[in-house]
Structure 1
Amino acid sequence: MTDILTHKENGVLTISFNRPEKKNAITAAMYQAMADALREAETDAAVRAILITGKPEIFTAGNDLEDFMKNAGSLANPDSIPPVYQFMQALNDSGKPVIAAVSGAAVGIGTTLLMHCDLIYLADNAKLSMPFTQLGLCPEFASSMVFQQIVGYQRAAEKLMLGEPFTAQEAFEMGFVNKVLPLEELVPYAKQIAAKLVALPAASIRTTKRLMKGIQPQAIVTKMAEENQHFAAMLNAPEAREAFMAFFQKRKPDFSQFN
């Protein structure tokens, strides 16, 4: 079974997480597949909009921690571009409209990636979270900058510092997402929006997106690099080792020993 499904139809490229037995946890190979799909779409005139989605019960549980730790060394290697970085760069660089349709949990990068989409629709069962501090880590892929630009400093501080889950309705009230829908209506509605975008002049859509983004894409690249430097260093710190050990041992981490 392919863990990432891609499907092109009527001008829309749909990228779907398809690893339900592992709660759609993302491996390096899955990041690479998505990065390749986005880069191909950028030069494919037949693709006029992109839709990212998961399963009705879950969007993604975030990184597959075993796979992530196995490949963690590449994050600190300045001579390599890890697949996760390739994916987020491709998402940030996309000149075509990107829609996210999210149901169930969107953990960690499952929420971070939404900040780099243009339109976000949630099912009423969606629950978002960025539990980086709970893992002894810091925000990733410019989320420390982009999230507060969207929802304001205090709300961003609450979600990024505490790392606690928040509901679809709360995400909507913060202005983070466009609409909350009943689960059965989510994907059909997102496809309707994609079809509307496809029917509009492609050059107009691309120019509008570029004008709205302004200098932000380069600022995001700079912030990504800054966060990645801190993230990679913190992966090797005692707090993260305690958090990951506790996760695998199915216990609550104890951070009281660290200053």
Structure 2
Amino acid sequence: MDISIEQANGICTIRFNRPEKKNAITAAMYQSMADGFTAAEADPSVRVIVLAGHPGIFTAGNDLEDFMKQPPTGGASPVFQFMSALKGASKPVVAAVAGAAVGVGTTMLLHCDLVYAADNARFSMPFSQLGLCPEFSSSLLLPRLAGYQRAAEKLMLGEAFLADEAQQMGLVNRVLPADELQSFVAAQAAKLAALPASSVRITKQLMKRGAAAEIDEQMAAEGEHFRRMLTAPEAKEAFTAFFEKRKPDFSQFS
């Protein structure tokens, strides 16, 4: 399975499991994750949800070939089902990030409650490099978290940054040696699972309550622009260059 879902001791672990493709996410994988979140939310025995990848890779982001064959068209699309399920999760979500976290691999972390990174983690949101715009409300949440100038650097240039900087920005709670990440996250999840479930849920609900409407509104605005830009000449040039393994030329567009 390209997404593995395991449950034990009150913890549901949803893991990217396509390492041969750098855990690049297909529509089917988004659907599996959305279904996994929905099931975890409905199961009273699940108290914590963990998002993880592999020691050398979290996720390379969207599988571009699959993404272009099945572009998102609206709320029913698997990617938006996943975004909605993660954003709306009432139970705490803990992320364990090792290796690359590209595109949605980084923006999804803005909706997790605790994020722990290995010292080999590398984050990027290269939407501008693909002729696209930010998604998953990252254009709202990242400036609030990191400050406007730092967020502008990451979202406009789309360049990668390392775990230490991610921690300085507030995107990551703690950076750990790669061989300690999984055990540390397991211990943190176990601590959460041992607490009164209602207390943890209500604490999360209260912290997120004030921003919920703004996040929904921003996601809708981003989604509208994103879908339009997917078919624009700049994105076509970016994707063509990617598949042809060359540098894109955006000088022809104003």
TM-score class normalised by the smaller sequence: over 0.9
Report if the CA contact (8 A) 1:93-1:217 is conserved: no
Cα distance between partner residues in 1 of 2:17 and 2:200: 29
User: 1:11-62: per-residue Cα shift (whole Å, max 9, x none)?
Assistant: 0000000001100000000000000010111111100001000011100000
**Residue-by-residue CA offset, 1:113-155 (whole Å, 9 max, x unaligned):** 0000000000000000000000000000100001111111111
Aligned to 1:23: 22
Equivalents in 2 of 1:41, 1:63: separation in Å?
Answer: 24
Q: Which residue of 2 aligns with 1:160?
A: 155
Q: Matched residues in 2 for 1:45 and 1:169: separation?
A: 36
Give the secondary-structure state (helix, strand or coil) at the position aligned to 1:255: coil
Which whole-Å CA distance do the structure 1 matches of 2:214 and 2:170 have between them?
A: 22
How many Å separate the matches in 2 of 1:86 and 1:161? Answer: 26
Tell me the residue number matched to 1:7: 6
* Superposed displacement of residue 218, structure 1: 2.6
For the pair 1:65 / 2:64, whether they are aligned, the reply is: yes
Residue ranges of structure 2 left out of the alignment (5+ in a row): none
**Alignment coverage as a number of residue pairs:** 254
Give the drift of 1:222.
1.4
Contact 1:24 1:61 in 2 (8 A): yes
Determine the C-alpha separation between the residues in 2 that align with 1:175 and 1:52: 18
Residue deviations 1:69-124 (CA, integer Å, cap 9, x gap): 0011x42xx5x510000001000000000000000000000001000000000000
The answer (yes or no) to whether the contact 1:55–1:103 under 8 Å persists in 2 is yes
Residue 234 of structure 2: aligned partner: 239
Unaligned segments of structure 1, at least 5 residues: none
Q: Which amino acid aligns with 2:106?
A: T
Q: TM-score, normalised by structure 1?
A: 0.97
Task: Give the secondary structure class of the aligned counterpart of 1:164.
Answer: coil
Q: Distance in 1 between matches of 2:82 and 2:194?
A: 27
- How much identity, in percent, do the aligned residues show? 63
**2:133 counterpart of 1:138:** yes
Out of 65, 83, 94, the residue aligned to residue 89 of structure 2 is 94
Instruction: Pick the aligned partner of 1:197 from 192, 195, 204.
Output: 192
Structure 2 length normalisation: TM-score? Answer: 0.98
- Runs ≥4 residues deviating over 2 A: none
Shift of residue 214 of structure 1? 1.4
Match of 2:77 in 1: 82
Alignment match, 2:112: 117
Please give the secondary structure, in 2, of the residue aligned with 1:137. coil
Q: Could you tell me how far apart the structure 2 residues matched to 1:95 and 1:173 are?
A: 27
Find the aligned partners of 2:76 and 2:142 in 1 and give their Cα distance. Answer: 24
